């Protein structure tokens, strides 16, 4: 059976949210993305660009712990790396604004 591939971020984002319904997983994504931004700003302000190498470790590290240990699924990054990255940022700012909720319970 052939899997249909999502072609737009608008089409992908609802799937992304369905893969991020666990509270702890969302919190870990939020913390990892927040730290990513803090590292980016700090590296730029201090001109200590070696810190930029830690961004993927921090960003993906927190997210993957959320998926493997709490959400119990594979990160969407493996199949849709760019859509997943963009969706991480969308979710971060949606959570920050209160548009999305932290407390989601999977049934």
Q: What gap in Å lies between CA 43 and CA 62, rounded to an integer?
A: 20
pLDDT at residue 102, rounded to an integer: 67
**Residue 42 domain flag:** yes
**Residue 92 domain flag:** yes
pTM for this structure?
0.88
pLDDT tens digits, one per residue of 34-59: 999 999 999 999 999 999 999 999 99
**Residue 7 domain flag:** no
pLDDT at residue 100, rounded to an integer: 81
pLDDT at residue 107, rounded to an integer: 45
Please tell me the total count of domains within the chain: 1
**Residue 16 domain flag:** no
**Residue 64 domain flag:** yes
Q: What gap in Å lies between CA 73 and CA 58, rounded to an integer?
A: 19
- The helix/strand count (H/E) of the chain reads as 4, 0
Domain, as residue range, for 81: 21-97
**Residue 5 domain flag:** no
């Amino acid at each position: 059976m052939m899997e249909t591939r999502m072609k737009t971020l608008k089409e992908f984002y609802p799937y992304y949210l369905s893969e991020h319904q666990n509270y702890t997983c969302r919190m870990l994504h939020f913390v990892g993305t927040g730290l990513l931004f803090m590292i980016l700003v700090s590296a730029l302000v201090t001109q200590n660009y070696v810190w930029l190498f830690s961004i993927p470790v921090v960003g993906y590290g927190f997210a993957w712990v959320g998926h493997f240990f709490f959400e119990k699924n594979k990160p969407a990054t493996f199949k849709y790396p760019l859509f997943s990255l963009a969706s991480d940022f969308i979710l971060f700012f949606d959570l920050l604004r209160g548009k999305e909720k932290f407390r989601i319970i999977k049934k």
